[in-house]
Amino acid sequence: MTTNGYYRLAAVIPPVRVADVAANSAALVQEARKTAELGAHAVLFPEMSLTGYTCGDLFFQPRLLEAALRGLETLAEKTADLSCVIITTLPLVVHEALFNTAVVLQSGKLLGLVPKSVLPNYREFYERRQFHPAADLRVNEVSFSGFGSVPVGTDLLFSDGSDFTFGVEVCEDLWAVIPPSSRLALQGARVIFNPCASTELVGKAAYRRRLVAQQSGTCLAAYVLASAGVGESTQDVVYSGHALIAENGHLVAESPRFSRSSTMACADIDLQRLGAARLSESSFNENKLPQEWSGVRVVPVIPADTECDLRLAQISKRPFLPSATQAEERCEEILNIQATGLAKRVEHTGSKCLVLGISGGLDSTLALLVCVRACKLLGCSPDCIRAITMPGFGTTGRTHDNAVKLANLLGVQLSEVDMRAICQQEFQMLGFDASQHTTTYENVQARARTELLMNTANLHGGIVVGTGDLSEIALGWSTYNGDHMSMYAVNCSIPKTLIRCLIAHVGLHSDPELAGVLQDIIDTPVSPELLPPAEDGTMEQKTEELLGPYDLHDFFLYHFIKYGATPHKLLLLAQHAWSKEYDDATIRRTLRTFLTRFFAQQFKRSCIPDGPKVGTISLSPRGDWRMPSDASAVTWLEE
């Protein structure tokens, strides 16, 4: 049993004695049992772990070859009570030819054999002296005493009938122009295991990391590599013992190198998520199963009997945010994408100015910062930006003052229009009782503000820059034909959690006065400020108290859109990531709100303005997200 597609994968570097099969098989048994106790569904050992990789011409000795087979029998016999899949390689004689062959074991049974395809034949390696490549193999099965007939070949996939489908390639195979793992991935392998013996040279570990991560990304797969350790012969080269696990382009686990005792890399990998990514990635399916790659044999694997507890899973609380090491570069890249998109729109339309409403909140602050950057790209002065603050019934002194300070510090044109009189006139025309703080009360204000911005843009030959963000678009938290509408929406693929990050980034590179204003804006609770403030003048209407935390909404949005996570899985992931910050009731309530609003508010997304995509998720109806406006959420809410 597994938890929503998660499997625990391990790569172990055991102690090895060159040509001492008895000691090596005992070590593999010990390490296999340890990883099984940790709940691993599969464990990978380095190349030739039973004999040692550096045996050289000893591989021609019948005594060593016979010992290797006995060691395999011992490994199988003493792990027969484990459901954990075990993978390594051994020297195998087939029709008087020697092959470097991966072995796949489970519950004491030998499931399959995969010979190495690409044999190194350069510098410190001369593997062709002892071994034949897989292309020289002329049989599909091999008979073993104690194991019976076992499938052999590079066309084997191993599958539990669910998400755990894997293939094996051996060491140098990964360094090939077209690695066997590429074909295996196209045939359905979501995990690639690589028992390896890679020498350690200056800079090679970094290259190995990049290679493993890149191949996992190319294959939309998990990639597990275990490379031979310091127990190998150091006659001419040194082996460091390097275990790596990557998932879809990202390195998620790594062992220390040069250890004189056993080491391990272990991670909980979401194989269901990899399947969802493949389903939506056209570039993957466009290359799927060319005629010459269509043949494959599937070997059944016993489904895992342990549930993955996710403690080794890398589940980011805020998946839209860059890592600390990438924050500087990524924030600059995002701001440049936004500003470049806006600059192009200004050039195309011949606009004389940029018009936007500023409230002292997060969204309008980021939009204004992007406008200033776009002006720099165009060689324009920031005074071609017309910022309008439009206090209404809910405006507080804190947000108003921050809006004014921000505009003045950035050197843009600032004007103020009190919207209360305009809205009162609208209420009278409607025959509406303004003491009733209903949706009408709020939306009259929002639409009046948008109308003023649009007319101002017409008056001065400009365009209205939208401020709404991805989180609001997902939840429909905007007034239709109010703040929902603009002439170019620079924040349309920036979620609320990322907006805070971007503003903080600008603050780090600003003078102290501007940085202080930006920080206070970040610290201000999110609010549309459409309802009257409290008696003490503080903000009464707080969005996250009504909808739930944006931290959770952005978390749900990411996993729902990018990987098609089910409601049950969304709940499970959120509980795992956010249990210290939010109780279970809050997480469940916010998830229900997210699903309900996401479906009900699609009609707003069906006619949103143009705006730049900056990440992998966008809800533009013209490209990334095409959904009928009247789709029902019942199927999702039932779960």
Q: What CATH code is carried by the domain that includes residue 410?
A: 3.40.50.620
- Is there a single domain that holds both residue 371 and residue 514? yes
* Three-class SS state of 170: coil
- Is there a single domain that holds both residue 145 and residue 65? yes
> Does the active-site annotation cover 171?
yes
Residue 294 has pLDDT above 90, yes or no: no
Is 373 a member of any domain?
yes
Is 317 a member of any domain?
no
pLDDT per position as a tens digit, 264-274: 999 999 999 99
Of 55, 84, 171, 266, the active-site residue reads 171
Of 31, 55, 84, 116, the active-site residue reads 116
Give the whole-number percent of the chain exceeding pLDDT 90.
Answer: 90
Is 33 a member of any domain?
yes
Give the whole-number percent of the chain exceeding pLDDT 70.
Answer: 98
pLDDT per position as a tens digit, 519-563: 999 999 999 988 998 888 888 789 999 999 999 999 999 999 999
Residue 288 has pLDDT above 90, yes or no: no
Give pLDDT, residue 146: 84
- Is there a single domain that holds both residue 335 and residue 279? no
Average pLDDT over residues 228-240: 93
Is 316 a member of any domain?
no
Enumerate residues 6+ apart whose C-beta is below 8 A from 546: none
pTM: 0.92
- Is there a single domain that holds both residue 279 and residue 341? no
Give the C-alpha separation, 324 to 174, whole Å: 31
Is 79 a member of any domain?
yes
pLDDT per position as a tens digit, 396-428: 999 999 999 999 999 999 999 999 999 999 999
Residue 623 has pLDDT above 90, yes or no: no
The count of structural domains within the chain is 2
- Is there a single domain that holds both residue 456 and residue 537? yes
> Does the active-site annotation cover 116?
yes
Average pLDDT over residues 207-212: 97
- Is there a single domain that holds both residue 91 and residue 147? yes
Of 31, 47, 200, 529, the active-site residue reads 47
361-385 in b/e form (b: 16+ CB < 10 A) is bbbbbbbbbbbbbbbeeeebebebb
pLDDT per position as a tens digit, 16-32: 999 999 999 999 999 99
CB burial of residue 401 (10 Å; 0-12, 13-18, 19+): middle
- Is there a single domain that holds both residue 241 and residue 331? no
Give pLDDT, residue 537: 80
Token couple for 626: 């095409």
Residue 437 has pLDDT above 90, yes or no: yes
- Is there a single domain that holds both residue 360 and residue 234? no
Residue 49 has pLDDT above 80, yes or no: yes
> Does the active-site annotation cover 47?
yes
Residue 608 has pLDDT above 90, yes or no: yes
Average pLDDT over residues 575-589: 97
Is 319 a member of any domain?
no
What's the domain range around 534?
327-638
Is 255 a member of any domain?
yes
- Is there a single domain that holds both residue 267 and residue 362? no
Where would I find the H helices in 393-495? 397-410, 420-430, 439-460, 470-475
Give pLDDT, residue 1: 47
Give pLDDT, residue 563: 92
Q: What CATH code is carried by the domain that includes residue 36?
A: 3.60.110.10
- Is there a single domain that holds both residue 76 and residue 127? yes
Give the C-alpha separation, 437 to 19, whole Å: 83
Is 306 a member of any domain?
no
- Is there a single domain that holds both residue 293 and residue 350? no
Mean pLDDT of the chain: 94
Give pLDDT, residue 242: 97
- Is there a single domain that holds both residue 287 and residue 359? no
